[in-house]
Amino acid sequence: MTRTRTLTTALAGAAATSLLFLTACSSEEDASADDNSAGQASVGTADLDSVSPALARYDSEEVQALWDDDSVSARDRGLVTVAALISTGQTAELGAYVERALDDGVTPAEISETVTHLGFYTGWPNATSAVSEISEIFADRDISTDELPEAEPELMPLDEEAEAERAQTVEEDVGDVSRGIVDGTERLFNDLWLRPDLEPRDRSMITVVSLIATAQSDQITFHLNRAMDNGLTAEEVDGLLTHVIYFTGWPKTMTAIPVVQDVLDSRA
């Protein structure tokens, strides 16, 4: 068990340690942090107007209005927006949307677990870069590491039949190229995916969003099917695509559409 949990323990522990350190630093600079947060909480309409009145109008009428559409809950919109921003390294906007996600019901533990998960799916630097932004918000809200997931929690049960099928596919596809990736992927699905502080549906949902955000369409079929097996509905998929296209850009989301359509057709 120690070996199979090395990678996830590393990032979860590193994220918690970084959050604790940066939270302490932020606490020592409360006045400065308060001043900065007032200016950095969001990109105001006046700021957008000063450069692009058209962008300000689109932001108000389309982007911010996404949260008025109840086809996807405000809580889910917050979670996937945070996932999209981390996946693409857009930390300048991250703080404002983490604040919004927390206000809309995403828990600090779920934010923390999202960072950990995306370290594997979008790369370590994207995850670790997000920590400095999020730690300031946690400090402002007096969120301590006691409220965050343990580095090595008791894992959820493994679906052994599904895991055997997945392992065989990876072995056939990658086994002759890289034993390290085969072994690492086994650890991924026998540890990271079984961590309990992010529901399987939500973990699958942010994975699909990260794949769209990073234009990894080849991986969407497996993960979207898994997301829907875990409870994501076709109606929610529609709403999520409409939402994330503003945060990933039209080309990336449009590139994913044929793959998404094939999955939906196969399950109809």
Separation between Cα atoms, residue 246 and residue 97, nearest integer Å: 14
Stated pTM of the model: 0.85
Measured from the Cβ of residue 232, the count of other Cβ atoms closer than 10 Å reads 21
pLDDT at residue 45, as a whole number: 58
Average pLDDT over the chain reads 89
Look at residue 56 and tell me whether its pLDDT is greater than 90: yes
Burial of 137 (0-12, 13-18, 19+ CB in 10 A): buried
Separation between Cα atoms, residue 74 and residue 10, nearest integer Å: 31
pLDDT at residue 2, as a whole number: 46
Look at residue 39 and tell me whether its pLDDT is greater than 60: no
